[in-house]
Amino acid sequence: MRAWTAVLRTTIRQLLGGKRSLFLGLLALIPALVTFLATTNTSPSGAFRTFHDAPVAILFLIVLPIASLVLGSAALGDERRDGTLSFLVLRPMRRSAIASAKLAAAWIAAVAVSGFATLAAAVVISIRVDDWGMLLPLMVGAALSCAAYTAVFLVLGHLTSRAVLAGLVYLFLWESGISFAAESLANVSLFRIGLSAYAGMVDGAPTILDDVLGSLTPGPGGAAVKAVVITAGAVGGAAWLLAHRDLAAPAE
């Protein structure tokens, strides 16, 4: 357990250090800024609807996935690119423990960024509508989406040095495009995991977000199960790669 905690702490420090944190911090301010500008001089009901038209979309379609992509792909990708991954696996730890520590670190870092973005946006809209009931649901939804995204991008970061580019193509081609083409595709959309949890916890949100949620049933329970399944699969996949892939060679 001590070795697992050491890997966790070291990875969090690595992920949230330097220019990366500055970029992600500025990105996290966008939903709050858009919320402030878009809801100025509007009624509480108008502000509530406007918040779900733009700021929520920016939060779940841009801020959360990009933060998760940058941090998730770096958790193992940086180690492999720097040639230190082979030293990491020499620790007296199971490969699954290494993978789970790396994923936990990426998730905590992503939640820190998304939590800042969510809190800032939630404070602005809560003041506008005089209702703080959206804060906790937004936090829960953001945490679940971050878990799914970081899990997928953790494995991707180990597979290729171009993980960020590949991830961006996935986000803007699939998540922001193809997944809107048919209702059935909503079940394989990662941002909708957190959004469905949020919608199930806020009165009035399911109606406004109906077109985005598609065939998904709003509620935190189902969303949590999906996030757990995806993260478990990612830990298993990353552990297998750590055990069977050449760790000395740079990712292609």
Tell me, rounded to whole angstroms, the distance of Cα 163 from its chain centroid.
Answer: 15
Secondary-structure percent of the chain, ordered helix, strand, coil, rounded to 5: 80, 0, 20
The residue-averaged pLDDT of 29-44 equals 93
pLDDT band at 86; cut points 50, 70, 90: confident
| pTM exceeding 0.75 | yes
The sign of the dihedral angle between the CA atoms of 234, 235, 237, 241 is positive
C-beta of residue 71 within 8 angstroms of C-beta of residue 106: yes
Radius of gyration of the chain from Cα atoms?
A: 18
Query: What percentage of the chain carries pLDDT values higher than 70?
Result: 96
Q: What is the pLDDT of residue 247?
A: 58
Torsions phi, psi of 30, nearest 5?
A: -60, -50
Q: Which residue has the higher pLDDT, 5 or 81?
A: 5
pLDDT band at 90; cut points 50, 70, 90: confident
pLDDT in tens, 166-184: 999 999 888 888 887 766 7
Structure tokens given for 213: 């949620």
Total length of the chain: 252
Whether 217 has a pLDDT exceeding 80, the answer reads yes
pLDDT in tens, 240-251: 988 887 555 454
